[in-house]
């Protein structure tokens, strides 16, 4: 009985202990982000390579919204998680309306962006 209780607790903890998976993130990014973004070219949205660790609105040849262009946010795990949860709630006036609902999906996509930024 004791063991099965412990096992239940451990199984219940697994989602909280999700380790970010950049390979799964690459697939999710391919499916959900490439309609508007690519790694090395600006499209509807700015290019993504190097975005991790960069200031928001910093791709020189992309025309950002005033909100993102004037933002002092630096992209890291925390800020990207908030952005992907709801861009317009995080930076007022943001032009990206797309959201990622699942915390594990966000973490994996962020791990991919971090890897592709060489970090």
Binding positions for ligand HEC, rule: CB under 6 A? 32-33, 35-37, 44-46, 51, 56-59, 64-65, 67-68, 75, 80, 83-84, 94-96, 98, 100, 109
- φ, ψ for residue 55, nearest 5 deg: -75, 145
CB of 2 to ligand HEC, least distance (A): 43
Distance of CA 110 to the CA centre of its chain: 4
Which residue from 106, 87, 108 is spatially nearest to 98, judged by alpha carbons?
87
Q: 75 vs 111, which CB is nearer to ligand HEC?
A: 75
Tell me how far, at minimum, the Cβ of 105 lies from ligand HEC, in Å.
Answer: 8
Q: Which is nearer to ligand HEC, 89 or 98 (CB)?
A: 98
CA distance 11 to 119: 31
The CB-of-35 to ligand HEC minimum distance in angstroms stands at 5
Coil/strand/helix, residue 57: coil
């Amino acid at each position: 009985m004791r063991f099965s209780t412990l096992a239940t607790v451990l199984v219940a903890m697994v989602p909280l202990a999700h380790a970010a998976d950049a390979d799964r993130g690459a697939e999710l990014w391919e499916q959900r982000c490439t309609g508007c973004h690519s790694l090395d070219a600006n499209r509807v949205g700015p290019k993504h390579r190097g975005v991790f660790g960069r200031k928001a609105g910093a791709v020189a040849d992309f025309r950002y919204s005033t909100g993102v262009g004037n933002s002092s946010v630096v992209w890291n795990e925390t800020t990207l998680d908030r952005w992907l949860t709801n861009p317009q709630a995080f930076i007022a006036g943001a032009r990206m309306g797309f959201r990622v609902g699942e915390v594990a999906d966000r973490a994996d996509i962020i791990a991919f962006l971090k890897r592709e930024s060489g970090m």
